[in-house]
Each structure stands twice: as C-alpha cells, then as structure tokens.
C-alpha cells in the first residue's frame, strides 16, 4: 500500500471513522485483504491531536482555519490553556464490536497499529460475533437501533466494506440520515472488486426514475481501494438540500446521547 497517506501534507479531517462490515469473511480472499488495507490506511493517516470527534460533527479544516491553528501552535504563550497542536498518527475506529469475519480483521489491524478501537454491540449478539477476547473497548447496548445511533454519534464519517443485509441496512440508514439532515458526515462505500456495483446501479435507477433526487445521489462516495476512497471522503462537501435542519430533529429520540448499558 505504501506510505502515501502518512506522507500527505494535509492532515485528515477525521478523528474517528465508523466502519460497517460483515461478521463473515466472505468466500474470497480479496474481501479480507480489503479490510486489512482499510485498517492500515486508517493507521497511516495523520490528524490533528485533540480534534473533536463524533458528536461535534464532521468538519473540514479550511486553509484559513488551518493557518490559524498553525499560528496558534507556534505562539502558545498568548493563549492561556492551549497546548501546541501536534499531528498524531492514525484515525481511530468505531465498528460493530465483533471479533470475527471482516469486523475482526479491521479492528485488530487498527488496534495493532496503535489507534483506538471502539466496538458497539447488542448484548444478544455477543455470543455470535465475539469469539475469544474482544478487540479494543466494547460498549454493550440493548438493541440494533441503539447500536447504530451510538456508532453514528461517535464517528466523523462512515465506510461500508462488503457485507450482508446488516451492513447494507446500516449503510442505507446513514445515507438516509444525511438526506434528512440528521448528520452531514461523509458516507463511503468501499466497492471491492465490484461487489457493490449492483447497489450503485440501483441508486442510479432510483435517480433516473425520480425516486432519488439527483443531488442526493451524490451523498454516497465510492471507490475500489481504501486509499482512493479516503481521499475522496477528505474532500467531500454536501451538495444536496437537507429535508430539515439538524437542529429540528429530536436527537434523543433517535438514540443520540443515550448512555449505553455497561
């Protein structure tokens, strides 16, 4: 994969990324390889240490704001309570909490790379999706709705690896939430060896037939490799008109801010 991400001059806008993926490895090695590549890509990226994550929402560091941050880090004496900003290596991971399949591969890769891993899993799925020791920190929640809401709250962006119904449902919900205005975080699709080509064609069909607004078709960002996908997501800006402003949604009813079961 190389060190292209680590050598990039612009730091990542993401502190933590949520990855949706299968609890099965798939029938071909290419899927496991893609999970490993994505994990390595997250580890190799750089971000501003101390950047807000998740609940603060996704943000893009503009050139002007970046200049201000750099200036502040160079002359700290005039800013009581601030410490110099440093580039930290690695983007942290939030995921479904399993230790098997693609979930286990990417989680272990990110953890081994020295980054934080947060797994969110319903209690009922623990016997099925955790084999042996868990990976990283695990938050146990009561149901699937709370799982998705907590992962969304913790993340600055979302990526779907190949997976089954559960992965696709999680992906589609994050796309829908973006359309509705519940969040404005990038949603990425790692289209490994054309796995998601039929789904992308369905999105195109929906737009062509008038069921998906043309500007909403661009909510999803897709690419065949982890590096290309993350580069696209770094430069993503929302181009669609939200259905309702984020402040108008009852976020607590959607699971935001709920304290997961310990």
Distance CA 47, CA 230 (A): 13
- The residue among 168 and 56 whose pLDDT is bigger is 168
Give me the domains of the chain, ranges plus CATH numbers.
Answer: 16-59+89-254 (3.40.50.450)
C-alpha to C-alpha distances, 71 to 62, 74, 82, nearest whole angstrom: 14, 5, 12
Q: Which alpha helices (DSSP H) does the chain contain, by range?
A: 29-44, 63-74, 101-112, 126-129, 144-154, 165-180, 197-208, 226-234
Residue-wise pLDDT tens digits, 200-250:
999 999 999 999 999 999 999 999 999 999 999 999 987 776 666 656 565
Distances (CA, A) of 214 to 29, 219, 239: 35, 10, 10
Q: Contacts from 246-253 at CB under 8 Å and sequence distance 24+?
A: 246/181, 246/182, 246/183, 246/184, 248/181, 249/180, 249/181, 249/182, 251/182
pLDDT confidence of 160, banded at 50, 70, 90? very high
Is residue 73 very low, low, confident or very high in pLDDT (cuts 50, 70, 90)?
very low
Instruction: Tell me what the mean pLDDT of segment 141-163 comes to.
Output: 94
Are the CB atoms for 162 and 22 separated by under 8 Å? Answer: yes
């Amino acid at each position: 994969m190389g060190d292209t991400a680590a050598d990039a001059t612009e730091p990542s806008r993401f502190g933590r990324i949520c990855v949706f993926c299968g609890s099965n490895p798939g029938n071909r090695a290419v899927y496991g390889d893609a999970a490993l590549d994505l994990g390595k890509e997250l580890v190799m990226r750089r971000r501003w240490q101390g950047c807000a994550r998740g609940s603060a929402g996704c943000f893009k560091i503009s050139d002007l704001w970046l200049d201000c941050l750099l200036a502040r880090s160079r002359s700290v004496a005039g800013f009581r309570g601030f410490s110099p900003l440093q580039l930290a290596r690695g983007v942290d991971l939030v995921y479904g909490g399993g230790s098997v399949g693609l979930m286990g591969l990417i989680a272990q890769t990110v953890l081994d790379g020295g980054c934080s891993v947060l797994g969110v899993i319903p209690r009922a799925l623990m016997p099925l999706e955790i084999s042996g020791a868990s990976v990283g920190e695990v938050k146990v929640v009561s149901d699937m709705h709370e799982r998705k809401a907590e992962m969304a709250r913790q993340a600055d962006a979302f990526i779907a690896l190949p997976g089954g119904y559960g992965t696709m449902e999680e992906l589609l919900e994050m796309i829908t939430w973006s359309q509705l205005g519940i969040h404005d975080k990038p949603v990425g699709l790692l289209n490994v060896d054309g796995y998601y080509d039929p789904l992308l064609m369905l999105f195109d069909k929906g737009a062509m037939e008038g069921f998906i607004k043309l500007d909403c078709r661009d909510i999803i960002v897709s690419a065949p490799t982890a590096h290309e996908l993350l580069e696209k997501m770094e430069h993503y800006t929302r181009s669609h008109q939200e259905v309702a402003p984020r402040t108008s949604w009852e976020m607590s009813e959607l699971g935001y801010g709920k304290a997961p079961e310990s």
